[in-house]
A and B are shown apart, each in its own frame.
Chain A
Amino acid sequence: MVGVTLVVAGVILFVMLPVLRGDWAALESPDDDVTDVDARKQAALRGLRDAEYDFLTGKLDQADYQLLKSDLSREALEAMEEEVSAGPAEDEGFSKDGVTRSAKRSSPDGDGLEAEIARVRKGMAEGRTCTECGHLNVKKSRFCTGCGERLGEVATLAGSPDSV
């Protein structure tokens, strides 16, 4: 009987402790890296990686690959743009530690994708990614070295009639 009372008391105490002591569980996890935007970006980047492999293994031929790549690049870019614009508010706690956002938000498997992100961002910032074939062109280019098309605005959607 003593044992039972002890157990009962112990359990009730344990369960009510937080309320009694005012201990709070975290209700937010600011370093959660999977938001909707992030998930879309990761999916797009995963897709890019898979597409590259499919192309190299011969499952996708050149034309299909470039089509897919431009679709996915565009999505990745859009997601990253969203991320960047949403960025500063959340960054406060972290930049002080010197941990940058891009390093924190690692992709599912580091290496190649990190490089990919860096490349595409750079292209966005400094040069042009061709919306027809996805080829990253040097700053100030007016024609794509990949497919020869005239380079339009980065923001224009691929395939739309006014991407010139």
Chain B
Amino acid sequence: MILLGELALWIALPVGVWGAVAGFVGGRKERGDLVLSAEYSVYAVFFLLILPSAGIITAFVTDSFEYWYVANYSNRELPTFYKVAGLWAGQRGSLVFWALLLSFFSAAAVFTNRTKNREFMPYAVGVLLTISSFFLVVLLFADVNPFERLPFAPADGRGLNPQLQNYWMTIHPPTLYLGFTSFTIPFAFAMSALLSGKLDARWIVITRRWILLSWFFLANGIIFGMRWAYEMLGWGGFWFWDPVENASLLPWLTATAFLHSIQIQENRGMLKVWNMGLVTLTFLLTIFATFLTRSGLIESVHTFAENTTIAFIFLTFMGVMAGLSALLIAWRYPLLKSENQIDSFVSREGAFLFNNLILLGAAGSILWGTLFPLISEYFTGQAMAVGPPFFNRVNLPIGLALLALMGIGPVIGWRRASRRNLVKNFLMPVIVGTLVVGALFLRGVDHGMALLTFGLSAFVMTIIIVEFVKGTKARAHIEGEGHLVALYHLVSRNRRRWGGYIVHVGVVMIFTAFAGVAFNREVVQTIDPGETITIESPFGHEYALTYQGLSSPRGENMVRQAVALMTVERSGRPVEPLTAEKVLYVKWEGSPLTIVGINSYLLEDLYLILENVNDLGGAFENDAAAQRATFTVQVNVFVGWIWYGGFVLTLGGIIAMWPSRGLTRTVSRPKTKTGGKQPALAARG
């Protein structure tokens, strides 16, 4: 079985290459048989990639330590859960996982387009299989074969790093990968449009949902990563501007820009070249993200082991794809002329344009800062680095501008907003925002940037709420419906728009959470049992944590735990106690893991870290004398709003993506030889 998986990789490559060639040639020569063969190749490659994936999982689950990859990321005691997730635990398996997802989405794209958009399919399939073949080449020739065997099987494997043994490890990388790989579809259709010269709005309409889907996965993947960091890294922070974090943010930023700029192309026929550039850039950034993680190019706590072969191969691939895309765009430039131009910056087009420009500005600055050590070393001989202060400093104004635009965009008029339009729509929200700032200032909030954030958030929320209210009332009035029904119909008749508004609400919540960081409190104390640590939150809640002591539960013999218990009072009233731990995995050489305790309230989190136990060994033995410990207690303001905002964003995204009922039609077509697929069906849009 596992052998079959290994061989399947070798079969998949020639099939992929054949399919790519057949797709391009079939498209050029209008040979429907080659095109069909190419589409079958897509299905075949997907099937063939299921085999090695299953093979790797089987190897993990059956403790087949003769496989180098399994021995490195598993051991006998590892819960089955994590053995299965071993597929993406390390460099090699994650490449197979990436290839699997890519082939899955390719197959889905082919399947959903088997009776429509046929003019695009040959070249799109060609591009998709080319990219899949690239990943197969990497797997087979860059010394990263997951099926590499050791001379004989060791008795046990190394096991999985305890830091990875948590729920988030099983959903954060896969979600991000889903986002990265699914963006290949829009890219393939864009290239197909360029190759075939069909540069009307069709390629956008075809790929709209794919773009949203990819964006959706990326957003969730990034938020999962933040939650993981917050829960598991034990510092109370959720974002560190680490090179790999940054690399995953970049395609999300450009994908967000793209989501907005395609609306300009759809409505006004503008920004055609820009959109081609953006889709290419976003695709390249997804490859760049995985390249950065795998090559060890920039030191990061995340990177896989350094591998220069991989680095070289990926760089070449990115260069070739960038070059080819640029050539294609240049070649088709005459067909990409705008039908209209911007009448005025003070318009929805202007707002969307600024949205794009500053999102790209943010991406550019983050890319620059991340690569700065390399850039500076190349040009000045001396490597220099920038860290969180740089990234925060540059992105703060950008974030504020984006926040403002989220309010301006939805209501400003198209083409050129008249003064009447501006006053009518913005006067009240601006007043509300100003009042909020004023009220907060009077209450003692004097942090400038935070005040601005809160004010703009209020501005945006006012606008969105008014939109919903006015829209519902209008519809209820016109259609004679009850308000709830009206709201439902309002949203379902224009899901992109209203789903988008809900996404904006989610983003506003997340930005508010970011602003909350400015008000976090922290206390560090070394205490004995019986002593109390107090901390006050900016909202006036007084927390009193009384240290009860350390205990070491007799658990599995491979794990040692020292659990500190604190009873907690919140403004005088007892609430849930908090525990914080040090956990040592005896087999895993390394320091004990820190497990934090979190009590989440609406406006803040109470966060407890067992930073150090003076006599940890004694604590593990339940020694009553070894109880003195250092704790850090934090109040993290608004941090929960990142997760709540994430839910809202997810809800909005789902609404926006949900297929609408329209475009149902039954058409009987003249019979063509379509490989047995007869199209007399209701096609849904």
Smallest CB gap from B43: residue in A? A14
Interface residues on B, range: 35 or more
Chain A residues lying within 8 Å of B7, measured Cβ to Cβ, are 4, 8
Q: Does B361 interact with chain A (Cβ within 8 Å)?
A: no
A109 contacts B117, C-beta separation under 8 Å: no
Check B673 for interface membership: any CB of A closer than 8 A. Answer: yes
Asked if A140 CB lies within 8 Å of chain B CBs, one says: no
Within 8 A of A (CB), among B455-492: 470-471, 473-475, 477-478
- Least Cβ–Cβ distance between B219 and chain A, in angstroms: 26
Q: Which residues of A contact B665 (CB under 8 A)?
A: 104, 106
Q: List the B residue with the shortest CB-CB distance to A58.
A: B470
A53 touches B474 (CB 8 A): yes
B663 touches A106 (CB 8 A): yes
The CA-CA distance from A4 to B35 in the complex, in Å, is 27
From B245-253, B407-415, B442-450, B619-627, the one touching the partner chain is B407-415
Interface membership of chain A positions 34-61, coded 1 if the CB is closer than 8 angstroms to chain B and 0 otherwise: 1110011001001100100100111111
Closest CB of chain B to A147's CB: distance in Å? 18
Residues of A within 8 A of B642 (CB): none
Write out, one digit per residue, whether chain A residues 117-157 have a CB within 8 A of any chain B CB (1) or not (0).
00000000000000000000000000000000000000000
Residue in chain A with minimal CB distance to B3? A4
Contact with B along A12-51 (1 / 0, CB 8 A): 1011111100111111111111111001100100110010
Q: Number of contact residues on A: which range applies?
A: 35 or more
A108 at the interface (CB under 8 A from B): yes
B662 touches A25 (CB 8 A): no
If A57-B473, A58-B424 touch, whether A39 touches B201 (CB-CB below 8 Å) is: yes
B662 touches A109 (CB 8 A): yes
A11: which B residues are within 8 A, CB to CB?
A: 11, 15, 44, 47-48
Q: Chain A residues near B33: list those with CB within 8 A.
A: 18-19, 22-25
Interchain CA distance A46-B497 in the complex, whole Å: 12
Q: Is B618 part of the binding interface, using a Cβ–Cβ cutoff of 8 Å?
A: no
Q: Which residue of B lies closest to A24 (CB)?
A: B32
In the complex where A14-B40, A64-B420 touch, is A43 in contact with B667 (Cβ < 8 A)? no
Q: How far is the CA of A32 from the CA of B121 in the complex (A)?
A: 13
Q: Which 10 A-B pairs have the closest CB atoms?
A: A24-B32, A36-B200, A18-B36, A25-B36, A57-B470, A39-B201, A23-B675, A29-B118, A57-B474, A18-B37
- B interface residues with partner A (beta carbon < 8 Å): 3-4, 7-8, 11, 15, 18-19, 22, 30-37, 39-41, 43-44, 47-48, 51, 115-119, 121-122, 200-202, 205, 266-269, 411, 413-415, 418, 420-421, 424-425, 470-471, 473-475, 477-478, 493-494, 660-663, 665, 667-670, 672-676, 679, 683, 685
Chosen A-B contacts, 7 in total, with CB atoms closer than 8 Å, are: A24-B32, A27-B122, A31-B669, A32-B116, A35-B200, A57-B473, A107-B662
